[in-house]
Amino acid sequence: MERFASATLPSALLLGLVVAALPAPASARQEPAKEGILYCVGYAHLDTQWRWDYPTTIAEYLKATLDENFERFERYPGYVFNFTGAHRYALMKEYYPDRYERLKAYIAADRWFVSGSSVDECDVNSPAPESIVRQVLYGNEFFEMEFGRRSQDFMLPDCFGFPASLPSVLAHCGILGFSTQKLSWGSAVGIPFDLGLWEGPDGATVVAALNPGSYASAIQGRVDRNEDWARRIRENGEKYGVWADFHYYGVGDVGGAPREADIRNYLASVDQPDSLFHVELSSSDKLFRELAPELRSRLPRSSTREA
């Protein structure tokens, strides 16, 4: 765990290290198709410590997250999963080394995605910006060392509020996108947009998915024929030229894996001839990585400089 210990590095140097460590954006990006793409992020939310202690998280919830997803991978070839928090992966390595080696194989095969870039799904209201920088630096450094992978998003589905400075901090760390479902929990400012650019005090931006649906639920019935999501994709396309949207599905708050009935439903909705839009079972950062700069610039913008 010394990898996550505090270091006496200046904030400016930390920022430089994070940006230097991230891979350069791909020169050729796949643009979301005109008929529309819904990026569906299979996920299991885990509060590392909430109404339980660390021994419970280790003995029950992390073990179940590994075992249940391994079973899903073998049963459903098209299923993919996202999980955050380098600290949780370090606990897996320490307490379940055999399962951890199996996990590495699924990550290498793009079945299990390391997500969110951070050490843990952290609070971003009380900590100083330097703490958030360290979350990204140490989180992605661990992912790189252990799996040869990095995440290019910051995923905070369950954080209670976000500071005006956050998009600037994330952008200067090389993060491309941000997602949360928490604004649907009675946000004082509403939900500025479903998919757009969140601008920080210095004008830096990240693409933000601010209305992805609950991480503990799923679309009922055929996903690719869902009228609400078809409307959202159509509005994004007609208004901004981005024929795409971003959607969570899964379970919470004790880890595990999405429900089998939901997995079967999402898989059955892929590549159907009468689809209203394409269903993409996706990593949490894929939309942000694939969005071409000219399309990104057309998205609606929410500026915290005016708040």
Residue 91 reports pLDDT greater than 80: yes
Residue 26, domain member (yes or no): no
Residue 5, domain member (yes or no): no
What mean pLDDT is predicted for residues 57-85?
98
Residue 65 reports pLDDT greater than 70: yes
For residue 254, give the DSSP letter: B
Residue 283, domain member (yes or no): yes
pLDDT tier at 34, thresholds 50, 70, 90: low
Structure tokens at 166: 């956050």
Residue-wise pLDDT tens digits, 183-208:
998 887 889 999 999 999 999 999 99
* pTM reported for the whole predicted model: 0.88
The region, left, alpha or beta by phi > 0 then psi within -120 to 50, assigned to residue 99 is alpha
What mean pLDDT is predicted for residues 229-236?
96
Residue-wise pLDDT tens digits, 113-164:
999 999 999 999 999 999 999 999 999 999 999 999 999 999 999 999 899 9
Structure tokens at 145: 């060392």
The pLDDT assigned to 215 comes to: 94
Q: Residue 148 is part of which domain span?
A: 31-306
Residue 88, domain member (yes or no): yes
Residue 252, domain member (yes or no): yes
What mean pLDDT is predicted for residues 260-288?
97
Structure tokens at 49: 């410590």
Edge-to-edge strands, sheet with 205-209: 153-155, 177-179, 205-209, 195-199, 301-303
What mean pLDDT is predicted for residues 275-296?
96
Distance of alpha carbon 27 from the chain centroid: 22
Distance of alpha carbon 192 from the chain centroid: 19
What CATH number is associated with residue 66? 3.20.110.10
What mean pLDDT is predicted for residues 43-68?
97
Residue 12, domain member (yes or no): no
pLDDT tier at 22, thresholds 50, 70, 90: very low
pLDDT tier at 11, thresholds 50, 70, 90: very low
Residue 25 reports pLDDT greater than 80: no
CA separation for the pair 88, 114 (Å, rounded): 11
Least confident of 5-19, 56-70, 78-92: 5-19
Following DSSP, what letter does each residue of 125-149 receive, concatenated? SSS-HHHHHHHHHHHHHHHHHHHS-
Residue 95, domain member (yes or no): yes
What mean pLDDT is predicted for residues 16-34?
42
Give the C-alpha distances (Å, rounded to integers) separating 47 from 50, 61, 192, 219, 253. 6, 10, 27, 23, 6
Please give the share of the chain, as a percent, with pLDDT higher than 70: 88
Which neighbouring-strand residues pair with 208? 178, 196
The pLDDT assigned to 304 comes to: 59
Residue 286 carries which side chain, given as an amino acid letter? K
Q: Which residue has the tokens 């931006």?
A: 205
Number of independent structural domains in the chain: 1
Residue 17, domain member (yes or no): no
